[in-house]
A and B are shown apart, each in its own frame.
Chain A
C-alpha cells in the first residue's frame, strides 16, 4: 500500500489518479499498488497549476506519504 497527500490551498477538491476519482486534497490517500500515476484535480474550475503531475509512487508510509502541491491560480489566469 502506498500513501499520497495532495496539497491544495484552494480547499477540499477531488483528486484524480489516472483520470479516475482517487480521494480528496489535503488528506492522506491510500493506493493499493505502487506505480506510475497521473495526478490531477477535478475540474472545472480549472483554477490550479500545474494541470497534471506524473509521479512514481513507491516506498511511502502512512507517516511519510509522498507530498504533491497544486497551486491555486488567481481568477484572472484560470485555464479555459
Chain B
C-alpha cells in the first residue's frame, strides 16, 4: 500500500517525460501543385471565378464565431442570379480568412459544409468551452502531462477541439474534398508579431507538410489568447527537397525603397528558411498580427504569388466582380478604470496590453482594402468616361483594353453599425470568452444577419446580382457599383 504514492509519482514522471505535442511532418518532396493551396482546389462545383467572394472573420471568442455564423446563415439565404443561373451568395464564397474565434466557424464550414447550420451550435457555440478547458487542466492525469516542457495548455485545448468539434480532421480532408472556399487560418509568430497562416504555401517555408496536421491545432494556434493559453509550436525543417522559392520574394527583397510594403511582407517569410535562426515557430492568437483577418486577403490580391492576383489574371474565366465581406466582432467594453483616478494594477495593464492593441488597426485594415477596391473601381469609371468622350470624336479610337477589369465591393459587418445606442452598447460590452449565455448567443447570431442585410453596400450588391433584400433601405451613395 505504501508503494502506491511512489508508483503514482513514478507513473506521473514517466507520463510527463512522454508528453509531447504532435509534431508537424517534414515535407518529403516539394510540389507546387500539391497540398492545401488555393490552386489545388477545384471550383467545378458551380462556384464561378467571375464572381469571387472572400470573407474575413475576426477574433473575439464565441461572440466572433457566432457573428460569423449569423453572416453565413444570411449568405445562405441570399438568392442571386449569376451567369443566368439561380444560386446563393454562400455558394459563391471562394475564400475565408479567419482569426481566433472566427476560425472555428471558418474551419467547421470548410470541413462539414451545410452541416454548419445544424451541428455547429450544439458542437461549439452552445457549449461552455471555457469550463471544459479548465476541467481538462484540473484532471490530475493532465497535471503530469502539463509538467512536460513539450506539452502545454494550448495542446490540451487543441485536443479538446480535435475530439469534440473537428472530429480529428486533418488538412488532408480539405485537400481531398478539393472544394472552395479556401480557408486561411491565421496565427501570429510570437518572435516578430508577423502573421502566420496554415496553408501549404506557408508550410513550404518550414519544409513541412500540412497534409496530416490536425485542423484543430491550426484553430487552436489561431485562438491562442496570450497569457490564458500558451503558444503552439511548429517545427521548421529548412528548405524542402526540390523547393523553388517563388520569385515574388526575391524581387520584393529589392524593394525596400521602391515598394516598402512588398519588402516588409517578404522579408520575415524568408527567415523561416534559415535554420541558423529558426528551427521552431511559436504561435499565438492571430489577432496579435491582424484581428480582422483581412491582411492575408490584401496580400493575396496585391502580390504576384497571391491566389487572388492569380485568379484575377489567369482564372478559368475573367473575374467580373470581387466581393469582400469583413465580419468584425470588435467590442468596446465600458471600463471602470476610466472612472477612477487610481492607476490600473499590473493585471489590468497586462490584460489591456494583450487586448486593446488587437483592435487598433482593424479599421485601417478595412480602409486599406477599401482603398484597393476604390482604386480598381475608379479606374474602370474613368476609362469608361474617357471612352464615352472619345466616341464623340469621329476619328478617335477607343482606349486600349485593360486587364483585369473587375468591379470590387467591400462590406463590413460590425456592431458599430447598430443605430440604437442602447442596443449598440449591449453588443459592444459582450465578453471575449468561449462561453456566451444563450440569450446573448442568439442575439449575436441574429445581429450578424441583420447587420449584413442593413449594409448599403450589401443591399446594392444583391440588387446588382439579381436578388432582393426584404425591407432594406435605399443604399444611397454608399452603394456598391
Contacts and interface: CB of A to CB of B under 8 A. Distances in A.
Given A18-B305, A20-B246, A35-B259, 20 more contacts: A18-B246, A19-B304, A20-B248, A20-B310, A21-B310, A22-B309, A23-B403, A30-B379, A30-B402, A30-B404, A32-B372, A33-B302, A34-B258, A35-B255, A36-B254, A36-B259, A37-B304, A38-B247, A54-B251, A56-B258
Contacts of B313: 21-23, 29
B262 A35 contact: yes
A63 B250 CA distance: 29
Contacts of B227: none
Contacts of B252: 35-36
Contact of A28 (B247, B304, B401): B401
Interface string A17-52: 111111110011111111111100000000000000
B464 interface: no
Nearest to A34: B259
Nearest to A30: B402
B46 interface: no
B400 A33 contact: no
B375 interface: yes
Contacts of B309: 20, 22, 32
A24 B254 CA distance: 25
A62 interface: yes
Nearest to B259: A35
A27 B255 CA distance: 26
Contacts of A20: 246-248, 304-305, 309-310
A73 interface: no
A35 B247 CA distance: 13
A36 B251 contact: yes
A9 to B, nearest CB: 16
Contact of A14 (B314, B382, B402): B314
A27 B304 contact: no
A1 B246 contact: no
A27 B400 contact: yes
Q: Is the interface of B mostly helix, strand, loop or mixed?
A: helix
B87 interface: no
Nearest to B400: A28
Contact size range, A: 20 to 34
A29 B312 CA distance: 11
A29 to B, nearest CB: 6
A23 B313 CA distance: 5
A3 interface: yes
Contacts of A38: 247, 250-251
Given A34-B259, A62-B382, A18 B247 contact: yes
Nearest to A56: B258
Interface in A40-77: 54, 56, 58, 62-63
A37 B452 CA distance: 39
B303 A33 contact: yes
> Which 4 residue pairs across A and B have the least CB separation, nearest first?
A35-B259, A21-B314, A18-B247, A32-B302
B402 A3 contact: yes
A68 B287 CA distance: 42
Interface in B388-404: 399-404
B82 interface: no
A28 B248 contact: no
A7 to B, nearest CB: 11
Contacts of B250: 18, 38
Given A33-B302, A62-B383, A28 B310 contact: no
B246 A35 contact: no
11 contacts: A18-B248, A18-B250, A18-B305, A20-B248, A27-B403, A29-B403, A30-B376, A32-B372, A34-B259, A35-B252, A38-B251
B301 interface: yes
A22 B258 contact: no
A37 B309 CA distance: 14
A28 B402 contact: yes
A22 B403 CA distance: 9
A27 B303 CA distance: 20
